[in-house]
Structure 1
Amino acid sequence: MPGWRLDDPASAWPALRTSCSTLVRQPAWQATCDAAARIGDRPTEAIVRQFFESRFTPWQLVNPDSSTEGLVTGYYEPLIQGSRQRNTRSRWPIHGVPADMLTVELGDVHPELKHLRLRGRIVGNKVVPYWSRQQIDDRGGQLPAPVLLWADDPIDLFFLQVQGSGRVRLPDGSMVRVGYADQNGHPYQSIGRWLVAQGELTLDRASMDGIKRWAQDNPQRLQELLHANPSYVFFRELPSSNDGPIGALGVPLTEGRSIAVDPRFVPLGAPVFLSTSFPNSSLPLNRLVLAQDTGGAIKGTVRADFFWGFGAEAGREAGRMRQQGQMWAILPNGMTPPALR
């Protein structure tokens, strides 16, 4: 694993302990997580390195075409402005999960479809697709979903949905943390790529900042832009005391040490060694991270979304990150990756 000796694995130890709070209930992880608990919270680099090298086996992830490189993007926890009540400034709803949305876990019907679920709604005696983003917007107050908060800016709300979690600053300065609760079942479509296809932006300018600038310059086409992505995320309010946003594993994410993966190929909670580079750079980013999250756009074997943390600077790094990288799933000795079972 190139760069393994250059990274300090002790920096990933808190994230591992966080993963173990869930993984310890799984027989394959119990002995490993029990051993980590005995080591404690502040081990040295040497102790952590010996722990991984003696108890784990790295498995390099390989794409179906036998290539070993894949796309590594970035995400972060944004801060947006909003209010508990709708007013002339805060007019865009941050919705909770609709009461009429049906979720079917396909793995309960066919085990080979584990991690896949179907969202829809019942019309008569049929299950039909749930409303798209445009249909949800068109329904307005008729959507049977709670409004948790009201956002000041629709493009900021859109990127909150893309990131999957974030914080909302209220007029009195207090903060509310919201996290992913569910999604409408429609596939994620990149509005940056839509702008490129429309000839509005070049690919190198289709970053988050570039999209925001385009939206500011073209307010009359804002809805057309947002509706190019039919996916819609619903939120839940989270305790503000959490150390970080809650990922798909159900534990707080750790800045610079958590990634989102496709759980069909990497077990949620597992350590991963990521070999990539910093945004728009050839400077190596070789780091032990934890697979603690998933995402609608994170599909494939060698595919990761790197969590940069909270705030504007993290957002800038996340928005610029579109690198190639290699990945190794680091699993307890004797455990094999899902794709080999």
Structure 2
Amino acid sequence: MRLRAALLAGLWAMAAPPAPGSEPGEPEAPHHEILGYSDLDGWAEDDHAAALDTFLNTCRDLRDPDWRALCSAAADHRDDARQFFELFFRPVRITHGSEEALFTGYFEPELDGAPHASPTYRYPVYRKPPEVQDDTPWLTRRDILSSPVMVGRELEIAWVDDPVELFFLQIQGSGRIRFPDGSVVRVGYGGFNGHDYRSIGQELIRRGTLEPHEASAEVIGNWVRDNPGEGEELLMHNPSYVFFREVSEVPADKGPLGAMNRSITPMRSIAVDPDYVPLGAPVWIEKEGGGPLNRLMVAQDTGSAIQGAQRADIFVGTGSAAGAQAGTYRDPGRMVVLLPIQRAYALLPEAVQ
């Protein structure tokens, strides 16, 4: 596949400084503020029916009685979706310390590959070996790729033509591999080797090869390709190695599986920090910057780089065009979680309830 102009969501973390308030100290409780729908900029103009369809995709899996009751009611409000949200939810702005809101974007990569190795398709996409446990360090990336430990075990899901794209696929955690006959294999996260992720972008910055603002997928990928020996060694700087599983049972017209094991929806699903935002909850976002976006989305995914009460990663879609769009997102703004009414008011200090 041709190199994407995208900045992968994981790559944004490569050169980012520590978040405000990240120094160790006395933990500070999150702050909750209940807003009115009139406080949400652009609320009346949104497509609430599209948001309701996305909400219904995962709400049936929620086990909490409050959410299950709302899910049952949602199915009866397809014709008045805006009224459904306004009737049963209250907008709650959750903040924690001095952290600022940050919106990034992510996408589902699509790589060129084949079911068997060839001179063109030389780089294997591996399943997780049965002896690997996520919570116990196994072999490093270098050990996996430079030893015969994986050979002859039928662990290959597919073979791809570009080790850099495969590296970025491991950062994203899921993607599609398109074979020469037009068929597609979809892969999802299947585990990892237990080693901490180390940023190759930060390493290039540390060496003085790149400036912080240059650490994009395009620039890093071009550098690796233009410097084959050094580039291969640079990839080994990250000892973490992600394994995959085939998830081709997900229809091609649906999005990849998110953290709730359901397909996520382009421009309606977001990844959040579940320590602050319940998975499955509707979330109103007001993204500023280039291409401002005011829209009701649903928290249906997570990510290791998505941390904080005002942090969200917007799922843009599949393929290079989606990747290019996702790469433009690194914007401030505001996010507001829609919570069941009783849940919302229970979060307020007793004195103001």
- Which residue identity is paired with 1:100? E
CA, structure 1 residues 200+326, in 2 after alignment: closer, same or farther (shift >3 Å)? same
Map 1:34-73 to 2 at 5 A: 34-40=72-78, 43=79, 47-63=80-96, 65-67=97-99, 69-73=100-104
Residue 223 of structure 2 corresponds to: 214
Q: Can you list the C-alpha shifts for 1:200-224, whole angstroms capped at 9, x where unaligned?
A: 2222322212222222211122222
CA, structure 1 residues 79+147, in 2 after alignment: closer, same or farther (shift >3 Å)? same
Structure-1 separation of matches of 2:344 and 2:240 = 33
The equivalent position to 1:192 in structure 2, one of 189, 197, 201, is 201
Residue 106 of structure 1 corresponds to: none
Report how far residue 149 of structure 1 moved.
Answer: 1.1
Structure-2 separation of matches of 1:225 and 1:333 = 51
Preserved CA contact (<8 Å) 1:265 1:338: no
Is 1:225–2:234 an aligned residue pair?
yes
Report how far residue 322 of structure 1 moved.
Answer: 1.7
Is 1:97–2:97 an aligned residue pair?
no
Residue 112 of structure 1 corresponds to: none
Structure-2 separation of matches of 1:197 and 1:286 = 37
Map 1:109-128 to 2 at 5 A: 119-120=135-136
Residue 24 of structure 2 corresponds to: none
Residue 315 of structure 1 corresponds to: 323
293-302 vs 309-318, which moves further: 293-302
SS of the aligned residue for 2:275 comes to coil
191-200 vs 267-276, which moves further: 191-200
The equivalent position to 1:272 in structure 2, one of 263, 271, 283, is 283
Q: Can you list the C-alpha shifts for 1:259-290, whole angstroms capped at 9, x where unaligned?
A: 11121211111111112135xx2x42121111
CA, structure 1 residues 56+252, in 2 after alignment: closer, same or farther (shift >3 Å)? same
Preserved CA contact (<8 Å) 2:115 2:159: yes
SS of the aligned residue for 1:159 comes to helix
Identity of aligned residues (%): 45
The TM-score with structure 1 as length reference comes to: 0.82
Residue 7 of structure 1 corresponds to: 46
What stretches of structure 2 of length at least 5 have no aligned partner?
A: 1-39
CA, structure 1 residues 185+259, in 2 after alignment: closer, same or farther (shift >3 Å)? farther
CA, structure 1 residues 145+339, in 2 after alignment: closer, same or farther (shift >3 Å)? farther
Preserved CA contact (<8 Å) 1:73 1:304: yes
The equivalent position to 2:188 in structure 1, one of 151, 163, 179, is 179
Q: Can you list the C-alpha shifts for 1:63-99, whole angstroms capped at 9, x where unaligned?
A: 2x244x2322111011101111122221211111221
Structure-2 separation of matches of 1:85 and 1:217 = 27
226-235 vs 299-308, which moves further: 226-235
Residue 339 of structure 2 corresponds to: 331
The equivalent position to 2:113 in structure 1, one of 82, 88, 91, is 82
Report how far residue 13 of structure 1 moved.
Answer: 2.0
**Cα RMSD, aligned residues only:** 2.4
SS of the aligned residue for 2:257 comes to coil
Preserved CA contact (<8 Å) 2:250 2:256: no
Preserved CA contact (<8 Å) 1:78 1:160: yes
Preserved CA contact (<8 Å) 2:77 2:84: no
137-146 vs 302-311, which moves further: 137-146
Residue 301 of structure 1 corresponds to: 309
Preserved CA contact (<8 Å) 2:60 2:68: no
Q: Can you list the C-alpha shifts for 1:117-155, whole angstroms capped at 9, x where unaligned?
A: xx11xxxxxxxx233323332334447782211111101
Structure-1 separation of matches of 2:333 and 2:345 = 19
Structure-1 separation of matches of 2:328 and 2:54 = 24
Is 1:156–2:165 an aligned residue pair?
yes
Report how far residue 325 of structure 1 moved.
Answer: 3.0
226-235 vs 166-175, which moves further: 226-235
Structure-2 separation of matches of 1:91 and 1:272 = 42
Structure-2 separation of matches of 1:187 and 1:336 = 36
How many residue pairs get aligned? The number is 307
Preserved CA contact (<8 Å) 1:268 1:292: yes
Residue 126 of structure 1 corresponds to: none
Structure-1 separation of matches of 2:208 and 2:214 = 12
